[in-house]
Homo-oligomer: A and B are copies of this chain.
Amino acid sequence: MKKILLFVDDIYEDLELWYPKIRLEEAGFKISVAGPEANKVYSGKHGYPCKADLSFDSVHTTSFDGLVIPGGYAPDKIRRHAKALQIVKEMDQEKKLIAFICHAGWVPISAKILRGRHVTAFSAIRDDLENAGAKYSDQPVVVDGNLVTSRTPADLPDFCRAILKFLS
């Protein structure tokens, strides 16, 4: 059974966390949620609660086959954790899935893995992505090797189809 890591922090976009989480569970994957503190409950932008199973510090990337980062304003908080950035960097070096949607692109920007890579995201952070060396397209989903990216909750069907295709 493949294991997928999901990042959380306060003000995560509720559906961008929960839809991929339940969708991957439905497809038979084991999901672990990592946040700044284990067992702490984080609140979505609209108020949906999500408990972290693990702290960023306790994550060993060798235990996971991929990473999903939801949007909202959580990515602005997640990027402040050196260990979260190290997880992204290691999983990219291991060519494992790194899927991010909406504002979540801020995290791989700070992990410095985006130079020359094709991505999409919510339009507000297009400049940040391009300034980090990424090539931005306004598409429902962009797949570049192990990176799978989408723009908004309306893209979740395309986002998850592409994630599942990569993992299959």
Contacts and interface: CB of A to CB of B under 8 A. Distances in A.
Interface in A115-163: 156-157, 160-161
Interface residues on A, range: 10 to 19
B14 A22 contact: no
What copy number does this chain have within its complex? 2
Nearest to A25: B157
B22 A156 contact: yes
- Per DSSP, chain A at the interface is helix
Contacts of A18: 15, 18-19
A31 to B, nearest CB: 11
Interface stretch (A2-10, A44-52, A71-79, A97-105): A44-52
A166 B46 CA distance: 32
